[in-house]
A and B are shown apart, each in its own frame.
Chain A
Amino acid sequence: MVTTQVQIETIECPRCQGRFPRPRQAATATCSHCGASVTLTDEIMDQTLVFAGEVLTRGKIVVAPAGKVKANLSATEIQILGTVEGNVSAVEKLIIGAAATLRGVCRARKLAVAEGAKIAGRLEIGESEKPIAKSPH
């Protein structure tokens, strides 16, 4: 009889920052604290996308220059080079490129904005800032 061992690791939820266990091989996991479905891979958005809810990933979200996204985004790191309408929450770093357009609430520990970026909304940036707990969209 062959037994397979499931490897478990503990990860941090990009929404509530609670730590929870997940199988190492899984592509998604549900946070045991806030119930969020968290994607564990990087997301690259390079087309017009409309999400009904929010995109949660423990990895990185990149909105490509051609990307037009209407959604709430939460990730460890977010890079916006295209257009985003929605609340954006990065556990670590949020990078807004020169050709980017962003409308919504931005929360991140660190923010870098290139000259030419168009922003309309609220900025909450700094070491003490926590990701948006629940994003109304």
Chain B
Amino acid sequence: MFNKKIDSDSPVSTSPFEAERSDYAPSNDREIATNLSKDTHFKGSLTFDRTLKIEGSFEGDITTSGTLLIGKEAEVKAQIHAKTLILEGTIIGNVTVEERLHLKSSAKLIGDIKTGKLVIEEGATVSGQCQTESSGKKSETTTVSTTEESAYRVPVGFNSHS
């Protein structure tokens, strides 16, 4: 196990994804600074600050104050803490995202989710606990009144528009 910090000047940086950038681009159009390509197998702890795309396999922990992109064929077994996460491949592990978690239609996530904002496209596979937060501060809880004064009790099978 080892710690590895990758920045934009890292020798593993290849940035060959100009064509895919519009598909992947975070809202502020940051560039993909680093790429772990298909033939890369990484085991350990990874920390970075900007944007990284994984297309190979990864096992360990990922912590970032930036954006993590996980490609279609990538398989990641990790505990992930990220500011933004865009998933097209597979994650097995718990995911904590400060701002936005986007699961594309090909995504597969097995593990618990804790995120600020959540977007799931039709076709994604998800299994685990999920908790979205309001502005990243407080857990969101639903409030449905159960008092007789404010709620109607209706029988099962009620059809309000039949």
A residues with a Cβ closer than 8 A to B are 27-28, 37, 39, 41-57, 68-70, 83-85, 93, 101-103, 110-127
Contacts and interface: CB of A to CB of B under 8 A. Distances in A.
Contact of A93 (B122, B129, B141, B144): B122
A51 B156 contact: yes
A62 B122 CA distance: 18
Nearest to A95: B122
B28 interface: no
Interface size band for B: 35 or more
Given A70-B146, A115-B100, A123-B127, 10 more contacts: A43-B161, A44-B160, A45-B160, A48-B151, A55-B158, A102-B142, A111-B120, A119-B131, A123-B128, A126-B108
B142 A115 contact: no
Contact of A126 (B121, B125, B129, B145): B125
Nearest to B139: A120
Give the secondary structure class of A's interface. strand
A74 to B, nearest CB: 11
A73 B41 CA distance: 43
B145 A41 contact: no
Given A48-B150, A68-B145, A83-B142, A122 B129 contact: yes
Interface in B91-119: 100, 108, 113, 117-119
Contact of B151 (A39, A49, A115, A124): A49
B132 A126 contact: no
B159 interface: yes
Given A93-B122, A112-B121, A121 B156 contact: no
B4 interface: no
